[in-house]
């Protein structure tokens, strides 16, 4: 229903609420009671050790799922292609395949040893077969550098180490 002005619209809603007050309150209580019943059931199921029925993969609180959801958020911002599921995430190795440091999975802040999803070919996006799990530090080093640029950085680091010795 189009309104001529904001004041007319507000007056209409005010009158409607006064005329239907009891119906609206009952509807609100029914919705609240249904939500609370679902929460109680999930709580009892969790205490009994049953999996959460809202997910089909059962990996909601895992590192793989956190890696997947982070990648999905990044693709929404950048417009990259994304068609991964939690089952497409490779197994998290004990050690980083690039830097050979032990990977440490935690739910807190990212550290150099945290597992991270790396796109093998960055332009292809997050698609099955184009991702691997490496340390966050290795992923930062790789970010958008070419192999030639990484060789130059390595040569510079070796030159600086030689000058200090």
- What's residue 102's pLDDT? 92
Q: DSSP assignment of 60-82, as one string?
A: TTSHHHHHHHHHHHHHHHH---B
Tell me the C-alpha distance between 91 and 138, whole Å.
17
Q: How many CB atoms lie within 10 A of CB 133?
A: 20
| pLDDT surpassing 60 at residue 1 | no
> What share of the chain has pLDDT > 90, as a percent?
37
Q: What pLDDT score does 133 carry?
A: 94
Q: Could you read off the pLDDT of 8-19 as tens digits, one per residue?
A: 999 999 999 999
Of 139, 138, 119, 140, whose CA–CA distance to 130 is shortest?
119
What pTM value is reported for the model? 0.60
Residues 62-120 pLDDT 10s: 888 889 988 999 898 888 899 998 888 899 999 999 888 999 987 678 888 999 999 98
The share of the chain scoring above pLDDT 70, in percent, equals 94
């Amino acid at each position: 229903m189009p309104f001529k002005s904001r004041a007319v619209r507000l007056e209409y809603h005010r009158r409607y609420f006064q005329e239907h007050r009891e119906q609206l309150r009952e509807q609100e209580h029914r919705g609240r009671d249904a939500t609370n019943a679902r929460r109680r059931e999930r709580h009892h199921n969790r205490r009994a050790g049953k999996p959460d029925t809202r997910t089909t993969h059962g990996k909601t609180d895992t590192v793989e799922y956190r890696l997947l959801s982070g990648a999905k958020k990044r693709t929404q911002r950048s417009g990259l292609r994304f068609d991964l599921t939690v089952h497409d995430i490779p197994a998290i190795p004990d050690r980083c395949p690039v830097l050979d440091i032990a990977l440490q999975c935690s739910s807190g802040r990212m550290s150099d040893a945290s597992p991270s999803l790396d796109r093998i070919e960055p332009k292809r996006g997050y698609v099955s077969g184009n991702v691997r799990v490496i340390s966050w530090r290795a992923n930062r080093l790789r970010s958008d550098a070419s192999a030639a640029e990484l060789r130059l950085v390595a040569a510079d680091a070796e030159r600086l180490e030689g000058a200090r010795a």
